[in-house]
Chain A
Amino acid sequence: MSLFGRGVLLLALATAVFTVVAALIGRAPAKRAWYQASRRGMYALFGLFAVAVGTLQVALLRGDFSLENVAGYSSREIQWYFKITALWASQAGSLMFWALILTGFSAIAVYTNRARNRDLMPIVIAILGALAGFFALVLSFATSPFATVDVVPENGSGLVSALRNPYMITHPPMLYLGYVMVAIPFAFAMAALVTRRLDTGWLTSMRKWNLASWTFLGIGIVLGAKWAYESLTFGGYWIWDPVENAALLPWLTGTAYIHSVMVQERRGMLKVWNMVLILVTFALTIFGTFMTRSGITSSVHAFGARTVGPYLLGLLVVTLIGGMYLIITRLSYLKSSHSLESYFSREAIFLYNNLLLVGLAFIVTWGTLYPAMTELFTGEKITVGTPFFDQVAAPIGIVLLILTGVGPLIPWRKASPKQLRQRFLWPTIAGLVSLPLFLLTDARGSWPVLVTLVFAVFTTVCIGMEFWRGMAVRHAHGGVTWLSALGQIISRNRRRYGGYIVHMGIVVVICGIAVSKSFVTEGQFQLRQGESATVSGYTFTAISLTRRRTAQAMRVEAAVDVKNASGDHVGTLRPAMNAFTSNPDMGVEVAIIGGPTRDIWMYMPSLRDGVAPFKVFVNPMVSWIWAGGAIFLIGAVVAGWPEGRRRRVPDPVVEAERAAA
């Protein structure tokens, strides 16, 4: 099995080389046959990686423990679906999965463009083929998914309990999809540069790809935060860990890109900037992989062997130098068709939003790499703590929040003072009125939170008024109810209103982050059965503390009753801890009582002599982050939904396929 798998990967490498060569020859209009061959090469690459992944998958399901990546990440006992997900628990497996997604998307892009972009496609295929070849090379020579062990163990050592989690099924694939999909717009952008076909044609064909990759990345990040919150023991969802930052960075520049591309489509401006952004976004996906797989930064994520670092660094350098070279030599083709006419115009707002997002990305990169840099230059590893990131991100986040509301209301080219007065009257009044109301709540304890909430109200009213205006026009035509007017405006202009829904999701997420980061109450106490403790008005009573042996572990569990200040029963928390008998792993089960205004989070590390220590967090409004993520997804699906079809229940999977097709 190992031999077969390795053979398939080598064949993939050879196919990739052939595909690149054929595509480059196929550039000439007369060499149509070569172009055809390169397209089939791309399909074949997808097929080969599918066979390779399938081979490892069969080995995982059958429990072929002669393979290192089966023995180390799987065992006879774990459920079948974790045997499947064990594919991306190992480094080599996840890189191979990555290559499968890459070639899958490449094949889709090649197929959908079979009758279009004849001049661009050979270069696109060459770039994507080279990327696939890179993975085949790494998987063949640096970290083989089919490496064997010297002594075949009786059983595998199983999957670390932290990974035995439903999020293991959703979070990594979402991130991979988002990460890998960036390669497609990148390849088209570079192809446009190479061929000097720099009209907006390639931009419009990449719209859905941009949106889809950015959406997957965003959803992957939210799922990762939720996973951390529900399974790790620090009671939060984001600690600016290098691996988290690695996912956030391309999302930030990707957000900048999907906004600034609109300026190029609409006004023919920012062409160089857009090229730089897509290059940087793609480079950041490689950089993120490098950062997490090379061990240059310390992280809570632990990623086994670190043998692929130099390869990824090489790819990163080639990408950046090649991309910059292409942009610089094509500068004369990237002239703006218009210039900025006013600082109060849609394009100007987009520019500010871009500067802030890229600035934030730059600062986060810098903070993430700071320990590595100081170690390199001074020998002392100095790290910037989470307060650094929090304090930099907060003001930038607030300004971005304001721009989110302001941007869509400001017309292109130039806004007159009269327009501004008209459009911002009600949002401003709403913001001002909300301030004294917020002062009546606990929010008064933190002025950054007050500012955030007031501007969240302002932005919400801005967005609401956009919907209102559209609905009023439609309703004035007569014959429709308000609700169907809403449906009509959304279905007639999905991109626009989908975008507003996404904005609304972001506003909700920002509120959740601001409040939950600022008003955490923490408590620690030890309880015997029947004893109580109070944290932040909530009384915790241990009604049972038990220790029992299960099939796989020694399990300690507690049932803790929670009552609020007025004595009402809020719920029962059941935190637990499993000490597995077969391996040195411990399985934590954090307990959470969720709610719209606050979560009660509890962790119990042990139970000894009838005494259990507990850690409790009362986290306000964390659930808003998850709700905002859901709104974000709905908005993205609306925006990406193909025009001219009847609306159905949004299904992210179907939508992804559609967006890809």
Chain B
Amino acid sequence: MTSKPRFVIALALAALVGGALVWMVFGGSLETYASPAGLQEGKTYRLNAIVATGSPTDAAADALTPAGVKFTVQDKDDASKQVPVVYHGIVPEQFKDGREIVVTGRYENGTFVADRDKLVTKCPSKFQGKSSASAT
């Protein structure tokens, strides 16, 4: 190939432009997975935790009011590590005490302020607790 050096330079340039693009958008989109134990003031997280008992029965309706729905989540392994959450938006139908959720937002003044509509419940692929299936 007569123009091999030129080709290599072109490729390198393309890679550079691509890399720059990735780098530029990269910083703005990072979110850290966290549990209630490891939150730092003023940072954005994807909080993975379990809904503590005593969450409002009418969470779906509360969440659409200006005040939002308030509930507490606890660490998946350590129930004593808890953090209050304020959330606005749609509450998934699976939401209830004891359900594992992932919610995105910022930790501010001791409360996790969730972004609108950024609450998802993690659901098991099959019904757990009902079947007495042995693990194989």
Partner of B60, one of A147, A395, A585, A613: A613
Residues of A within 8 A of B80 (CB): none
A143 within 8 A of B: yes
- Which residue of chain A is the closest to B29 with respect to CB atoms? A388
One of A298, A371, A611, A615 near B90 (C-beta < 8 A): A615
Residue numbers in B under 8 Å from A170 (CB-CB): none
B86 on interface, CB distance cutoff 8 Å:
no
- Known contacts A391-B25, A526-B61; decide if A383 and B127 are in contact (CB<8 Å): no
Q: A384-B29, A605-B92 are in contact. Are A395 and B64 (CB under 8 A)?
A: no
Q: Is B135 an interface residue (CB 8 A)?
A: yes
B134 touches A68 (CB 8 A): yes
**Known contacts being A611-B61, A613-B60, is A381 close to B126, with CB within 8 Å?**
no
Q: Say whether A433 faces chain B, with CB atoms less than 8 Å apart.
A: no
Contact yes or no, B93 A577, CB < 8 A: yes
- Residues of B close to A584: CB separation below 8 A: 127, 130
For B86-123 the 0/1 string (1 means CB < 8 A from A) is 00011111100000001000000000000001001011
Are A68 and B60 interface neighbours, CB within 8 A?
no
Of the candidates B1, B10, B130, which one forms a contact with A157 in the assembled complex, judged by CB atoms under 8 Å apart?
Answer: B130
Residues of A within 8 A of B3 (CB): 340
Which of B18, B46, B91 is the most central at the interface, judged by chain A CB atoms within 10 Å of its CB? B18
Contact call A302/B124, Cβ cutoff below 8 A: yes
A489: interface (CB < 8 Å): no
B51-103 residues with Cβ-Cβ distance < 8 A to A are: 58, 60-61, 63-64, 89-94, 102
Docked-complex contact B126 and A304, CB < 8 angstroms: yes
Interface residue total, chain A, C-beta cutoff 8 A? 65
With A and B bound together, what is the CA distance between A371 and B7 in angstroms?
Answer: 35
Interface residue? A218 (CB, 8 A): no
User: Which residues on the B side are within 8 Å of A371 (C-beta)?
Assistant: 33
Whether B30 pairs with A382 at a CB distance below 8 angstroms is yes
Q: Counting CB contacts under 8 A, is B133 at the interface?
A: yes
> A544 at the A/B interface (Cβ < 8 Å)?
no
Q: Which residue of B lies closest to A159 (CB)?
A: B126
A205-227 interface with B by 8 A CB criterion = none
Q: Is A632 an interface residue (CB 8 A)?
A: no
B48: chain A residues at CB < 8 Å are: 298
Does any Cβ of B come within 8 Å of A524's Cβ?
yes
For A153, the chain B residues whose CB sits under 8 A away are: 131-132
State whether the Cβ of B9 lies closer than 8 Å to any Cβ in chain A.
no
CA distance A394 to B11 in the complex (A): 20
Could you tell me the distance in whole angstroms from the C-beta of A228 to the nearest C-beta in chain B? 13
**Chain A contacts for B135, CB-based, 8 A:** 305
**Known pairs A143-B136, A147-B134, A613-B90; A384 contacts B125 (CB<8 A):** no
Which residues of A does B touch, CB under 8 Å?
A: 68, 71-73, 89-90, 143-144, 147-151, 153, 156-158, 160, 233-234, 298, 300-305, 307, 339-340, 343, 355, 359, 363, 371, 375, 380-388, 391-392, 395, 522, 524-526, 577, 583-586, 588, 603, 605-606, 608, 611, 613, 615
Other contacts beyond A147-B136, A304-B125: 4, CB < 8 A:
A143-B136, A385-B29, A613-B60, A615-B89
| A-B residue pairs in contact (CB < 8 Å), sample of 11 | A68-B131, A72-B131, A147-B136, A302-B124, A305-B135, A355-B14, A385-B31, A392-B21, A524-B64, A613-B64, A615-B117
Q: Which chain B residues have a beta carbon within 8 Å of chain A's beta carbons?
A: 1-3, 7, 10-11, 14, 18, 21-22, 25-26, 28-33, 46, 48, 58, 60-61, 63-64, 89-94, 102, 117, 120, 122-127, 130-136
